[in-house]
């Protein structure tokens, strides 16, 4: 009888461990080489909403998303933060083109301090931070539908001059 009870307890323990493992979601990874955060559920911005993002988790906000009557906007917080945003496609218009999943993000992209997210087809925005003349890269996953700006997740590679790929946050 005692043996059966112990076996039952062991069985229940195994089941509860399994359940915990399956229900656990990785929402944030922060180590020496990368910082990744997944908003679950997504952040949804409607008119007059804004969201600040600390892309490298160093305690200083870097990027702001804003939703206004005239559209959706992304900018660096201020000029003292050496952040730029890609990929920029407009001379004068300050607009952005979508970066596809798995597309390489590096210095070959066009970079700018901010722009209007005028299209609904944007999936990934590139982020570049310049430190001691070296470039660090990351991405932010967004989408726009029904006039709502959705912020899904963001990633930053803490090692300089290493390219990243849009949507990819694990490197082996």
Q: Where would I find the beta strands (DSSP E) of the chain?
A: 28-30, 34-45, 50-53, 63-68, 71-76, 83-86, 104-105, 114-116, 124-131, 134-145, 148-157, 164-165
* 62 makes contact with Ca ion (CB under 5 A): yes
Task: Specify the residue, 66 or 158, whose C-beta has the smaller distance to Ca ion.
Answer: 158
Map tokens 């006039």 to a residue: 147
> Do 138 and 157 contact (CB within 8 A), yes or no?
yes
Which single residue is written with the structure tokens 């949804």? 44
Q: Quick check: 54 binds Ca ion (CB under 5 A)?
A: yes
Of 8-16, 51-59, 134-142, 160-168, the segment contacting Ca ion by CB under 5 A is: 51-59
Q: In terms of CB distance, is 58 or 107 closer to Ca ion?
A: 58
Nearer to Ca ion, 18 or 28 (CB): 28
75 binds Ca ion (CB under 5 A): no
- Binding residues for Ca ion, rule: CB under 5 A, are 54, 56, 58, 60, 62
């Amino acid at each position: 009888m005692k043996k059966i009870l112990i076996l039952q307890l062991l069985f229940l323990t195994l089941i509860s461990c399994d359940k915990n493992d399956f229900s656990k979601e990785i929402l944030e990874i922060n180590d020496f080489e990368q910082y990744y955060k997944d908003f679950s559920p997504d952040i949804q911005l409607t008119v007059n909403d804004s969201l600040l993002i600390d892309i490298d988790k160093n305690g200083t906000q870097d990027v702001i998303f804003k939703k206004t009557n005239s559209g959706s906007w992304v900018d660096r917080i201020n000029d003292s933060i050496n952040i730029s945003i890609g990929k920029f496609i407009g001379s004068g218009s300050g607009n952005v083109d979508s970066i596809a999943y798995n597309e390489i993000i590096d210095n070959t992209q066009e970079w700018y301090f901010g722009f209007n997210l005028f299209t609904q087809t944007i999936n990934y925005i590139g982020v570049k931070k310049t430190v001691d003349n070296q470039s660090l890269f990351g991405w932010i996953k967004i989408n726009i539908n029904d006039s709502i700006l959705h912020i899904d997740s963001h990633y930053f590679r803490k090692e300089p001059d290493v390219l990243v790929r849009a949507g990819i946050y694990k490197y082996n």
